[in-house]
Structures are given as structure tokens and as C-alpha cells.
Structure 1
Amino acid sequence: MENERFGVIRDSMESNQLLQKAELGKIKKRCFTLPGSDFTYGLNSFLKEGGVAAAIGQWQTVDPRGTAQQRKLQPHYVALNREAVKSGLVTAAEHQAYRNTHEIWRPVYKGHLHHPAMTFPPGTTFGISTRPSTPIYDLLENKYQHLWIEHQKEERERLRLKSKEKLKRAKMQDNHTTILRRYQPQEEPAPLWQLPRFQKIGPHLDTFPSQEARQKAFNAQRSDGIARKGLRGQGIYNIS
């Protein structure tokens, strides 16, 4: 099914992946040279166990290790030195002579040569405790779903009562005592600094004929400033 080629077809083309064409229903060739049919892939097994017949005919055993009685006893130098000191020997020669004439061996344990066997109280269980069985009847009855729904209802009711209590506290009327507790008197700002020679000098210009006329003018300005713009109510009228 390959298309027609022009020119000379050389054997080296078979080793060039770029010159290979995809055939219908087959993957593209990678141009790798593979060994013959007698080649074995993987690792060779050099073990010769004999197969099933050898396994049935004999039983492979492991030689046991030497027991504690077969081990060579070792002298207990700490105990020998202690007993030599108790006998009144202090020099190295006297200690060496005491070791040569006395025998105190290190105790041999069955489990290990240097450490005694560990003892455990009766009824001790080793490992991880067994996982409890799954309550299949509770799963079939959707018990956990019902418990979760009841828990959500209780939580919702608790939040509702809590919010209701907050609203009840907020609606409490203030009395004279609560107002006085929250009242904080404002501090009067400090007066602007002036030179001492200008503190007792009065104004040189007074455009009002009397103090009553001054007060009336300020009251009129204050009442009219509601409809005016500006910070002090002295701007244009607000008609919007």
C-alpha cells in the first residue's frame, strides 16, 4: 500500500526514520534493528531448584544458631574488680593475680548475649487494635443523615434564639443613668495665642447700634442659612 517512489531505493533508507512512510493500519517504523528469534529478553536464571519434584522429595531447613549453653563464657571484670577492692587489693599486679585465681562469669541470657529478655504482663496485645465493624444497619437506614439534619436544626434554633436575644437587648430604653454613663463632656479648645498687649483691646469698629440688634441679625442669618450652601450657610440658595 506504499506510494510509488522515484529514484534509486537504497538499503540505508531502512535505517532513516525520516524517510519512512506510514502504512495503512500499521504504526510508523522506528528503524531499530532487533535480534533474531533465538534471542531471549530479560535476565537469565541460574538457580536450579529442581522444580516440583525436588520440592516434594525434600524439605529445606535452616540450621539453628548456637544456644546460650554453647556460647563461650566471658569474665565479669567489673565484679572481679569490685571483689578485689573489697579484699584490700589496690595495685594492678594484685588485681591481675586476683583475676587469675578467681572466676566470676558474665550472665548469659537466652534472648540476647548482653541484654536480658524483656518480660511483658499477661494479656498484653501487640500491634494495632482491630477496627470496629461497620454498622451496616445504620447505613441502610440513613441514620447519619437524620442525625446531621437534627444537628443542623438545633444549631439553627440556637442561632435564632441568640439573634432574638440581641434584638431584645437593643430595644431597651435608655434612662437617665445609662445616658449619664455614656456621656463624655467635650473639652473646650484652648484659645488662640495672642500678644499680651492685644488681649485687653476691644474692637475698633461696631456696625450694630446695640447688642440686641446684633443678636437679631445673627438669629436671622442662622435661620436663613438652612436653605443656603456652604459650611457656615452663607452661600447661594440651594434650590435642588
Structure 2
Amino acid sequence: MMSPRLGVVRKSMLKDPLIIKAPLGKTRIRGLDVPGPDFVFGAKTNWNADEGVAGAISSWSVQCRREHPARLDFVSLNRDAVRSGLVTSKELNQYRALRGGATRKKRISEPSDGGTARNPQAAPDITFGVTNRAPSPLAELLSYEYAHKWFNEQLSRNQSGGHKKQMKPGHVPETRTSLLRRSRTLPAPPKPLRLPQVAQVAAALDTFRDPKARR
């Protein structure tokens, strides 16, 4: 159900996405024109169908490689100059001008125009990903040698007394508190501090009822 419109409805309003409203329960259309039956999507191939497969293959456009200018290999130039005994900048410049033909080879991994490099040169002594572990001996697996070895180890461990001792019924196991109470000695009570200079001085007042209470 479309909402009511005001004014004259023109055909151009069916192509403007800002004016087109979505019908109830449907998505909004974009109003784009569909090309005719003669329209070809993608790049056209200029070849005659009567030529067959040979004509189709020969009409393919081959991507040509772009020629990159050769770059100077300064590493080899500097190495050869140092070996010749040239260390100053002036001597190095003269040596480079004299040996200007030393160029660096183009790496294979450099991509061409819009394409990717084929057969990239991998770095030596590098393993990509996780290395495979050593293969397990198939004869030992089929003969259950590892299982027999584990079983013998368990038997020897039980015979050597490494297994846990069985608790007798009615026996209370020792706890940390009981062990500390039985092994630790109680500290001696501290003696009251008495200064020697006042130990023999008699009391000024005698307020105790009997001599026993004095103690």
C-alpha cells in the first residue's frame, strides 16, 4: 500500500532514489535502468567466432612487463673500493664513476603493472609454518611396546612402595595442628621485672590483711 502523494506523478519520479518510497513489506528499489540485450558486461573480445579456438587464444591481450631502469649496486661498489684501498669520499666517487657498469639485478619478486610476481625468490634456510615432528616408529606402535613399557613402570613403582598407604578403619589421620601441638614446646612464662636497687626497700604501707595475700 503506497502512501498518498500530492501533485502530479511524473515518470522521472520513478528513477530518483530520494523520492522513491519502499512498498509495504518490500525493499526500496533504486530506479536504475537495465541495459538492453546488446549490452556486453565486461571487456569485449575482438575476435571472429568463425576462427574457432585458435582465433580466441590469439586475440588475448598479453600483459607486457615494464622495463625498469637498472640501479647501481652500491654494496658491491663499496666493497670492491675498500678492497682496493679507497676509503675517502673523493676516491669512492671516482671509483663509482670509473665502475659505473656495476648494476644490481632485478629481483624476481617485484610485481609488474597490475599483476603479481611469479616464482618469487624465497629466502634460504627458512621454514615457513610449523615443522613436522619426527615420525613415530610404526613397528613399535603395532607391537604395543609403549603400552608394555608404561605397564612395567607402574608395576615397579607399586613394588617399590611409592604408592599411597592404605588407611586402617577407625584410624584418625594426623593433622597439622596435632603435629604442631605435639612437637612444639610451649614458651616459658616471663618473669616480672624487678630492679635491684628497690628490691630490699620496705613497703611504706601495709594494706594486706594477711601475709598470704601479700604474695
Q: TM-score, normalised by structure 1?
A: 0.32
Larger RCO: 1 or 2 (CA < 8 Å, sep 6+): 2
Q: TM-score, normalised by structure 2?
A: 0.35
Larger Rg over CA atoms: 1
